[in-house]
Amino acid sequence: MKLLHAATEPLDVTLLILSGSSLMTVASVLDTMRAANRLAEQTLFRWRLISIDGEEIRLSCELSLPADASLGELSGGGLLMIVAGLNQDPRVTPRTFQRIKYLSHQYQAVAGVEAGSWLLARAGLLSGKKATTHWEDFEEFRTRYPGINMRPDRFVIDGNIITTGGASPSFDFMLHLIRKRYGYPLALDVASIFIYDGTHMPDDAQPGVSLGILESYDPRVASAIRLMEQNLDEPLRMLQLANEIGLSVRRLEHLFSQTLNTSPYHYYLHLRLQAARRLVVDTRLSIQEIAIRTGFASLSAFSRRFKRHFGKTASAFRTWN
């Protein structure tokens, strides 16, 4: 992709931001460009903010951003980045997808940021391609679009189409873009401005649990949690889990109690129920299917556990029924 080749000229970036987007995700894209310009002491990036109808953009945190133009006013350019949150902007219409599909031929590259991947899919731009989206939406996306080669990666580049996960993966992609166009030293300087010491590659998996400092504090507990994450639908027995990381069950229980003030059994149950809640709220899967996907032997067992944990039934969490 020409966009990712070494260059000296500025890159024009158009940000189509949907209402309901995350401020942190928007900042991950905007502030990396601003920092690159400041550190290079020249304009490497030019950008403008676009909304579907040219009206202000209301972010998920209730802050508003002014729009420079509407989607209908765009004619083409360098990089079109579509940023969206998990709750799609009600102003999106079939005409929006038609316009995005048309513009994909007028820009050097198009990126779907976080839930922006959904818009690219609905515009027919991801068929037969590799792609990713925010990990919370991943399973639902894969179910809805079986013709897309979904990857749990931080960001994916396939031809002139780019897709990223949430805020941190978007930051990773922007550093990748800076590195490819303007050199490794500038990308390192930009990362340092934000005290960002991540060394993520594009195909690093998006973690369902951000283990952070726990990884260095007690890697054995971190390893156990990672195994739990990977086996939500068919939960491992405590003996299996302990054997996988070379510990006795008693030692594993002691480490969890010492580090997280809970038992591995209860932490595992918590992970499964949190995953179930996301599926209840963000998908239209049946409660029976959600119970199966989160490792419960029966619907009744799932329902009891869910209500005990969250204080109300799974159906009560759904705004539609």
Domains delineated in the chain: 2-193 (3.40.50.880), 214-317 (1.10.10.60)
List pLDDT tens digits, range 144-159.
899 999 988 889 999 9
For residue 14, list its beta bridge partners. Answer: 48, 80
Q: Which amino acid is at 180?
A: K
Q: What is the pLDDT of residue 101?
A: 95
pLDDT higher than threshold 70 for residue 89 = no
What does each C-alpha distance from 140 to 146, 165, 279 come to in angstroms?
10, 14, 8
The model's pTM: 0.72
- Scored b (16 or more CB within 10 A) or e, 158-187 reads bebbbbbbbbbbbbbbbbbbbbbbbeeebb
pLDDT higher than threshold 80 for residue 37 = yes
Q: What is the pLDDT of residue 320?
A: 53
CA distance 86 to 137: 8
pLDDT higher than threshold 70 for residue 264 = yes
What 9-13 contacts at long range (C-beta under 8 Å, 24+ apart), as own/partner pairs, is 10/43, 10/44, 10/45, 10/46, 11/44, 11/45, 11/46, 11/78, 11/79, 11/177, 11/181, 12/46, 12/47, 12/77, 12/78, 12/79, 13/45, 13/46, 13/47, 13/48, 13/77, 13/78, 13/79, 13/81
User: What pLDDT band is residue 269 in, cutting at 50, 70 and 90?
Assistant: very high
Reported as half-sphere exposure (CB side, CA atoms, 13 A), residue 34 has a value of 9
CA distance 162 to 151: 12
List pLDDT tens digits, range 92-144.
889 999 999 999 999 999 999 999 999 999 999 999 999 999 877 777 888 88
How much of the chain, in percent, has pLDDT values that exceed 70? 91
List pLDDT tens digits, range 21-35.
999 999 999 999 999
Q: What is the pLDDT of residue 201?
A: 61
